Structure 1
Amino acid sequence: GDVVAAADLYGHLRVDLIGGATAPDDANDIAAFLDSAVGYLDGASGILNRALLTQKWELRLDRFGPCIEIPLPPLQSVDEIRYIDTAGADQTVPPVGYRVIENGEMPAEVVPAYGASWPSVLSTPQAVTVAFTCGYGAAEDVPGPIKQAIKLMVGEWHKNREATVGQSLTELPLGVKALLASFRVR
């Protein structure tokens, strides 16, 4: 589903629904603006460096470090840690072999279980893979300031369909930076 519900977005844009029920004439444009706004913020390529809706990702590393930082908070779960052992065989670290340290809005960390250490791995690129699930969950779980920023971005693009002379393409509508500031992961 979308991070912002269509009806909520249409209300923000003050766009009337045709006959009170069906999508407006420019619904495809509005949907494209919404996709662009979410894409600008969400996931590995988004400026927030976090996941909005539930997503599954894999982190690939050349070796185990003392601590593995899991990107794209908030973390929901570490699903599996796979590695290539020194004999070249694929192995899985059992869940009892590591601990997940939750950091709320910041990236979580994975460390070996108490009294344990990471296994030895083959010296090869991407010898370690951490599969994880991240994101706030469903659309209703995404923080309000992020949804409001998305609505402001879509509203600006809906109102000003052409780039304004002298305005940078990376410039965000007034208020968006302030709404997003505390959610950016550095």
Structure 2
Amino acid sequence: MGSISETPGYDRQAELKTFDESQAGVKGLIDSGITEIPSIFHIPPHLVDARPVVGPSDGFTIPIIDLAGASGEKRKQIVEEIREASAKWGCFQVVNHGAPLRVLEGMDVAVRGFFDLDLEEKKEFFGRDTTKRFVYNSNIDLYYSPFATWRDSTLFHLQPDPPLPHEFPLCYR
């Protein structure tokens, strides 16, 4: 069976445009009751790695960086662990970072609150202009990537000039 891009009549650009112009993102697709993942999210066969998927039962673990003592003599060791995890894995989990649990829980509530807003409220923040103080989108590289990723994101910069409270959605304030 051929790939989607080889399917007669398939217009990827039109599908991308329809998805993008809806400004509903992945959550909007889910809320609409779709039963199949749209073609724009399919990874082209030539990009799929033939290696088996690795999971927890295979001993796969994301590196954990413990920041306890980062301001002291362990600093060089921690910096090296971060460098190594970034180079080899591209990600890591941070523990003992000092952020209080109530702050982390508050962030979770705010993020969920934003994505649970009515679509019309979220549209006010939709876009790909990363110079804006607060941006909501699905796939910053939607028109350039060979496949869309199954995610919606918010982006905001706190430095050097933090956004003013009114520039955030109400649930983030």
TM-score (ref. length: structure 1): 0.20
Q: Name the structure where strand makes up a greater proportion of residues.
A: 1
TM-score (ref. length: structure 2): 0.21
Higher RCO (C-alpha under 8 Å, 6+ residues apart):
1
Q: Name the structure where helix makes up a greater proportion of residues.
A: 2
